[in-house]
Amino acid sequence: MHYFITGTDTNVGKTYVTSLLLQSLRRAGKEAVGYKPVAAGDRMDAAAILHACQDPALSLDDVNPVFLKAPAAPHVAALLENKRIDLNVLRSGFEKLTQTYETVLVEGAGGWEVPLNDIMTMADFAQALALPVIMVVNNKLGALNHTILTVRNIQARQMQCAGLILNHVADERDTASISNRAVLERFLDVPVLAEIMHGETELDWPL
């Protein structure tokens, strides 16, 4: 089974969560790999995913076929290099991995609807892959609006949101971070798969 990992925004911990999920699958003896189709600004996230895969047969280009230098939305970063992101290239990279690995975790760039080119967004790419979506939520004030909007967009596309993972990016707790889970469970018909406290280094595969 393969999954698409998205988030409420950029810097919500998608790579951190993806890496923990990969490590959990590997501990369970699963052939699992991460895939970061587009990286912009640097390849640190892709390198972290490659490290979590623990597979010497994989290269950084296998995990991340498209790298753009500018730290911007993929579409903007590509324009600055006079390039256009071809979704067929992204899809072929994914399909190549599925021929070898039983689970591929595809990590998006930025948030759900970040533009990839002049006509398509990351959400369109996820929809083309027809994968269930795991959503990483930065558990803070403002997360409710972003999470509910994103989940409802996923469902409006007739896609499955497999669940939410609440990530405590900051060590401090406040009213929002304490209450968000209960509110999301009340307003959405998707499960909260896990809640990751700040600094946690291990996560059991939740599905």
CATH number for the domain that contains residue 41: 3.40.50.300
**Residues 110, 34, 141, 190, Cα dihedral to 10°:** 110
How many CA atoms are closer than 13 Å to the CA of 131, on its beta-carbon side? 25
Residue 173 lies in a domain: yes
Of 63, 7, 66, 6, the residue nearest 35 (C-alpha):
63
Residue 17 lies in a domain: yes
139: tokens are: 């558990």
Phi-psi region of 90 (alpha: psi -120 to 50; beta: other; left: phi over 0): alpha
Mean predicted confidence (pLDDT) in 128-144: 95
pLDDT for the residue 199: 81
Residue 202 lies in a domain: no
Q: Identify which has the larger pLDDT, 176 or 127.
A: 127
Catalytic (active-site) positions: 36
Number of domains in the chain: 1
pLDDT for the residue 52: 96
Is pLDDT of 171 > 90?
A: no
198: tokens are: 């700040």
Of 164, 160, 163, 95, the residue nearest 127 (C-alpha):
160
Q: What's the rounded Cα separation, in Å, for the pair 84 and 55?
A: 30
1 pLDDT band, cuts 50/70/90, is very high
201 pLDDT band, cuts 50/70/90, is confident
Mean predicted confidence (pLDDT) in 56-80: 96
Residue 177 lies in a domain: yes
Residue 206 lies in a domain: no
Residue 204 lies in a domain: no
Residue 205 lies in a domain: no
pTM, whole model, 2 decimals?
0.95
**Helices 87-98 and 122-129 meet at what angle, rounded to 10?**
40
Residue 141 lies in a domain: yes
3-state secondary structure of 35: strand
190 pLDDT band, cuts 50/70/90, is very high
Is pLDDT of 11 > 90?
A: no
pLDDT for the residue 151: 97
**DSSP one-letter code for 126:** H
Strand partners, 166: 137, 195
The domain in which residue 168 lies consists of 3-196
